[in-house]
Structure 1
Amino acid sequence: MTATPSPTILMVPGLRDHVAEHWQTLLQAELLAQGHDARCVPPLEHDKLSCAARVAALDAALAAIDGPVVLVAHSAGVMITVHWAARHRRPIRGALLVTPPDFTQPLPPGYPAQEALAQAGWLPTPLAPLPFPSLVAASRNDPLASHARVTEMAAAWGSGLAELGNVGHLNPAAGYGPWPRAHALLAELETLAAQQA
């Protein structure tokens, strides 16, 4: 019996792209130091608010990877992932979907307006079951989405739900930074994927 190859872990950032002190950036560095193949969807130079451009960038990053892939998406990266899954098909071993925003409600100041998001193709939010194992990590006090809405989205996607407690939007503004629990959630996702294989 051949062992399953270790998956490539692909970070799918939100609209702010690569942020040096973000937990995704730090997690990628930690995984690389441990000998894993960890990559990140490259930042866009143009059409930064375009959902289609973001989905195309994810698809191009996936096309460059042979073998199994685990996605680690945060914020709008979760929306990029579910829009990608509605349009494309390729095997994904699993996806960790962290603090998805609710684009059906106005976002706090400093974030794109709902009308701009709609014009850029983000709405409606895909709510079909995802064709791969997934785990949604939900904050109790996320300013970008109510806990009830995140729970509804996780159920619609067929995702497991990991409760994070009061972690805000789990970004540098909320104090993250290093997020050690990501490793435990990736292990939980791996167990989930093995059960559904």
Structure 2
Amino acid sequence: MAPATVLILPGLGNSPPGHWQSWLERRMPALRRVDLGDWDAPAPEVWAARLEEAVTAAVTPAAGKVAGPVVLVAHSLSCILVARWAASGTPAVGKVAGALLVAPPDVDAPDGIPAEAARFAPVPVDPLPFPALVVGSRNDPYCRAERACAFAVAWGADFIDAGEAGHINADSGHGPWPMGETLLRHLLEEAAGG
């Protein structure tokens, strides 16, 4: 089987150089960041279309090559994007072998969420059709740990308690994030059948 393609899906504002997603890209150059469009004023339909295009391109074999599965690495608002896109049931969804969903925001919350993120409400509650790990923090300003765990349960994903890790981004000190790399490598092993 061909190796998995790993797609990086940043959240609102993109992931700056000091963010763990950017750190992972430097450590694992084969990872591909998906340009979802406007990072500061995201349109859910545009982001979903860009994700669809990226997954479709990743699983379209090049001449004489076999395309492998796709693993998604989403942060913040892109976690909600992945759940919304997966619920759409497009054929490309079936090509995803796993997802690492880190710090999903509670876009249903009445306050504390940027208006741009609230456009992604409501949080989908359909089970994901692929294995997933949801990583939540006990002091994430955008989502209570109990709510992140509830997302994992609804999505049929495993929940990882990251402790008091804030929003698990550059502002909370998560540039280098070995735990994230370990979780991704676990998903890649599973995607490879090991």
- Bucket of the pairwise TM-score, normalised by the shorter protein: 0.7 to 0.9
Counterpart selection for 2:55 from 56, 62, 69:
62
Contact 1:10 1:72 in 2 (8 A): yes
Deviations 1:127-162 (A, max 9, x none): 100000101111111110001101111000000111
Q: Give RMSD over aligned pairs.
A: 2.1
2:168 corresponds to:
170
Structure 2 counterparts to residues 145-156 of structure 1, below 5 A: 145-156=143-154
Amino acid at match of 1:59: E
Amino acid at match of 2:70: V
What 5-or-longer segments of structure 2 have no aligned partner?
60-67
Cα shift at 1:193: 4.9
Q: Would the alpha carbon gap of residues 157 and 185 (structure 1) be closer, same or farther in structure 2, given more than 3 Å must change? A: same
1:99 corresponds to:
103
Contact 2:69 2:191 in 1 (8 A): no
Structure 1: distance between partners of 2:145 and 2:7: 26
1:140 corresponds to:
138
Structure 2 counterparts to residues 111-150 of structure 1, below 5 A: 112-113=114-115, 117=117, 120=119, 122-150=120-148
Q: Would the alpha carbon gap of residues 149 and 94 (structure 1) be closer, same or farther in structure 2, given more than 3 Å must change? A: same
TM-score, with length taken from structure 2: 0.86
SS in 1 for 2:58: coil
Contact 2:77 2:117 in 1 (8 A): no
Cα shift at 1:187: 2.9
Runs of 4+ in 1 over 2 A off after TM superposition: 45-49, 187-195
Contact 2:141 2:166 in 1 (8 A): yes
Alignment coverage as a number of residue pairs: 183
Structure 2 counterparts to residues 2-151 of structure 1, below 5 A: 4-32=1-29, 37-45=30-38, 48-66=41-59, 67-87=68-88, 88-90=90-92, 91-108=95-112, 112-113=114-115, 117=117, 120=119, 122-151=120-149
What 5-or-longer segments of structure 1 have no aligned partner?
none
1:159 corresponds to:
157
Cα shift at 1:190: 3.8
Structure 1: distance between partners of 2:15 and 2:78: 12
Deviations 1:7-30 (A, max 9, x none): 011001101124121110110121
- Between 60-69 and 184-193, report the one with greater CA deviation: 184-193
TM-score, with length taken from structure 1: 0.84
- Between 18-27 and 43-52, report the one with greater CA deviation: 43-52
